[in-house]
Amino acid sequence: MNPLEQTRAHFIQGMSRISHFWGFPKAMGAIYGAIYLSPTPLSLDELVQQAGVTKGAVSANVRQLERLGMVHRHIEVGQRRDYYIAETDFWRIVRGILQERQQSEFDRALASVGESLALLENVRGDEAEFARQRMAAMQSFFSALDGLVQALLKLESLVSLRALSRLVERAGKE
């Protein structure tokens, strides 16, 4: 294995770890890593070889990566084979992930708290009142969080993360 291949392997392993850390399958990270490092579009078979997982796993994970907007499937007409290329705009990727996770389960959290609150609608007593207050506070936090994510999602580009950091820093000093 030449130095370049070694590096690639190391990088892919790292991506696999990161992927797992963020709550995604390890294979997903490995596959993205392989595609990301390749100057040319990769086929499924090449991915099997480079990421070290089976066809089935590549097929499934590449689809998920596509849904998140992390890779793009490049189909040529009159060509059976698919090729994959990496999305390199990380802000797009972040958006893709936020959207995906958002729509699915995030609102459900809000809904769940809302339901609980509704259940207390006409229950009297100190304990009920206390619970109501707490739940309302949590609801408010969740909806504010949601608002922040929505605001972020509206950003075209990541303005530059660093600029955003400075913004936050300044906000903190006020």
When asked if residue 136 is in the footprint of a copy of itself (CB under 8 A), the reply is no
Nearest one of 143, 81, 69 to 111, comparing CA atoms: 143
Q: Which is nearer to DNA, 74 or 132 (CB)?
A: 74
**Can you state the angle between helices 90-101 and 126-154, rounded to 10 degrees?**
150
- Between the alpha carbon of residue 40 and those of residues 37, 43, 52, 159, the distances in Å are 9, 10, 19, 29
Our finding on whether 18 is near a copy of itself (CB under 8 A) is yes
Does 25 engage in binding with DNA (CB under 7 A)?
A: yes
- Contact present, 21 and 50 (Cβ < 8 Å): no
Q: How many residues does the chain have?
A: 174
101 binds DNA per the rule CB under 7 A: no
Which residue number, 57 or 71, has a Cβ lying nearer to DNA? Answer: 57
Residue 155's contacts (CB-CB under 8 Å, 6 or more residues apart) are 91
Residues that bind a copy of itself (CB under 8 A): 3-4, 6-8, 10-11, 13-14, 17-18, 21, 23, 36-37, 39, 88, 90, 105, 108-109, 112-113, 115-116, 119-120, 123, 125-128, 130-131, 134-135, 137-138, 141, 144-145, 147-148, 150-152, 154-156, 159-169, 171-172, 174
Residues in touch with DNA (CB under 7 A): 24-28, 43-45, 52-57, 59-63, 78-82
